[in-house]
Amino acid sequence: MNTTALLHALRDELQEAGLRGSFLVRDLDTGEELGLDPDLDFSSASLVKVPLALATLERIRTGEIDGARTLLVQPGRDLDSGSTGMSKFRHPARIAVEDLLYLSTCLSDGVAAGALFGLTPPAQVTAFLRGIGLRGITVRSDTRDLNETPADKLDRDEIHLAHSLAIGGGTAGRGHRIPQLDTTRASSGSAQAFTDLLQELWRPRNIDGQVAARVRELMRHNVLRHRLAPDFSSDASTWSSKTGTVLNLRHEIGVVEHADGQSFAVAALTESLVPAVHQPGAEALMARVARALRDHLRARRP
């Protein structure tokens, strides 16, 4: 199948499944890339924890923050949801900054990320990104508001109503009645922007090599592997990634490194038009679309 036909077929498949998305796959060595609406901005949800980790580790490297310093973190309040980490804690805990990085990045722990944002606020993370030449990702708020959506105020059997509001509350300019989905108020970025971040992490030019290596290590140990990982993990490849989810948004960014030396950055940012919390078919389709783009690029490489 030629490139035009492939992209057309993938768009049709996404539309039939009720998904809109921003996809991009890039060969990290040749720079060749292939995508669907890669410049479309989305609220980044927990993807923001990757630039947070990068900015925090840079401050540890320069001595502004002691990675061994412990912070007293209050327990979370989210005991009934599907969240992970300290949101399930029932008692305060003292945790080192570097261990908070693990919890925030690998477990997508929002409480840990909130503690790290207390050290490096959103505006400072954005300024760091601009300083290394990454302009497409903007960090506007910490992660605490991700657990304060309309869904968190409804009973479990009513959560579909929040998803209906999420689907119908947007504007043509990517604004939204729900602040967490409004790309002018929430942290935001596109597949293009997050692919540029992955490029810098895997082929660093403007950041310290050891800092980049530590972020790669954290992403390699991501425990949330239900979305793109099934299509990119194998005995002959390594998949390092970060997911992001809020209401009807499902995202994942990552890099697949093959045993033959080829490496591809993958960014898949999507919004569902189906008012349902659990959509395993959407997760599988995201992976299938991203895999098809990667396979097509890999087949074209000499």
User: Does residue 191 have a pLDDT over 60?
Assistant: yes
CA 228 to chain centre: 12
| Nearest alpha carbon to residue 224 among 110, 64, 75 | 110
**How confident is the model at residue 4, as a pLDDT?**
96
Our CA dihedral for 203, 143, 167, 231, rounded to 10 degrees, sits at 40
Mean pLDDT of all residues in 74-96: 77
Cα angle: 273, vertex 279, 282; to 5 degrees: 70
User: Does residue 288 have a pLDDT over 70?
Assistant: yes
Q: Which two tokens stand for residue 110?
A: 């929002």
3-class state of residue 31 by DSSP: coil
Element (H, E) at 256: strand 249-258
Least confident span in 65-79, 155-169, 176-190, 259-273? 155-169
State the Rg of the chain over Cα.
Answer: 19
Q: Which two tokens stand for residue 291?
A: 């895999």
Element (H, E) at 252: strand 249-258
Amino acid 117 reads F
Alpha-carbon span 235 to 259, nearest angstrom: 9
